[in-house]
Amino acid sequence: MKNRVKSVEKEDTEPNVYMRDTVGKIYGLLKYSSWDSAEEELERLCIRWDSYTVNKVLKTHPPMEKAWLFFNWVSSLKGFKHDQFTYTTMLDIFGEAGRISSMKYVFKQMQEKGLKTDAAAYTSLMHWLSSSGDVDEAMKVWEEMKDSGSCPTVVSYTAYMKILFDNGRAKEASDIYKEMLQSGYSPTCHTYTVLMEYLVGSGKYDEALEIFSKMQEAGVQPDKAACNILIEKCSKAGEAKALTAILQYMKESHIVLRYPVFLEALKSLKTAGESIALLKQVNPHFFVDDDSKEEADEFCLMAADFPFRIDRGLLLIFLKKRNLVAIDRLLNGMIDKNIQVDSAIISIIVEANCDCSRRTGALLAFKYSVRMGITMERNAFVSLIGTLIRSNSFSKVVQIFEAMIGAGQSPGTYLSALLIYKLGCARRPGYAANIFDLLPDDHKSTATFTALVGVYFTVGNADRGLEIFKTMLEKGIFPALGTYNVLLAGLENSGRISEAEIYRKEKKRLQLNRHTRASLPLEEKICDLLFAVDVVT
The amino acid sitting at 455 is V
Q: How far is CA 399 from CA 233, 303, 363, 403, 441, in A?
A: 37, 31, 11, 6, 19
**What's the confidence (pLDDT) of residue 533?**
62
d(Cα 56, Cα 25) in Å, to the nearest integer? Answer: 12
Q: Is 374 a member of any domain? A: yes
pLDDT at 528: 84
CATH code assigned at 312: 1.25.40.10
Tell me the pLDDT tens digit for each residue of 310-362: 445 567 777 777 788 888 877 877 776 677 777 888 888 998 889 888 888 99
Do the domain assignments include residue 514? yes
Residues 474 and 527 in one domain: yes
- pLDDT, residue 298, reads 45
Q: What are phi and psi of 290, to 5 degrees?
A: -65, -45
Residues 418 and 528 in one domain: yes
For residue 147, is it within any domain? no
Same domain? For 422 and 316 the reply is: no
Domain assignment of residue 369, given as a range: 307-406
480 with 517, same domain: the answer is yes
- 378 lies in the same domain as 483: no
Let me know if residue 390 belongs to a domain.
yes
| 475 and 495, same domain (yes or no) | yes
Identify the domain boundary among 389, 406, 423.
406
Does 433 lie in the same domain as 363? no
Is 314 contained in some domain?
yes
Structural domains counted in the chain: 2
- Asked if 383 and 451 sit in the same domain, the reply is no
Residues 349 and 458 in one domain: no
**3-state SS string over 294-312?**
HHHHHHHHHCCCCHHHCCH
pLDDT at site 18:
58
Sequence-distant (≥ 6) Cβ neighbours of residue 446 within 8 angstroms: 472, 477, 478, 479, 480, 482, 483, 521, 523, 524, 526, 527
> Directed axis angle between helix 240-253 and helix 259-271, to 10°?
140
Q: Give the pLDDT of residue 297.
A: 46
Residues 421 and 528 occupy one common structural domain: yes
Domain boundary among 406, 428, 447: 406
Domain boundary pick from 406, 439, 473: 406
Identify the pLDDT of residue 331: 82
Question: Residues in the chain, how many?
Answer: 537
Task: Tell me: do 367 and 422 sit in the same domain.
Answer: no
Backbone angles phi, psi at 322, to 5 degrees: 60, 30
Q: Which pLDDT score is estimated for 517? A: 57
Does residue 72 form part of some domain? no
91 lies in some domain = no
| Residue 61 forms part of a structural domain | no
User: How many angstroms separate the CA atoms of 200 and 205, rounded?
Assistant: 5
Residues of the chain with pLDDT under 50: 1-17, 288-311, 534-537
Asked if residue 385 and residue 427 are part of one domain, the reply reads: no
Tens of pLDDT, residues 40-49:
999 988 888 9
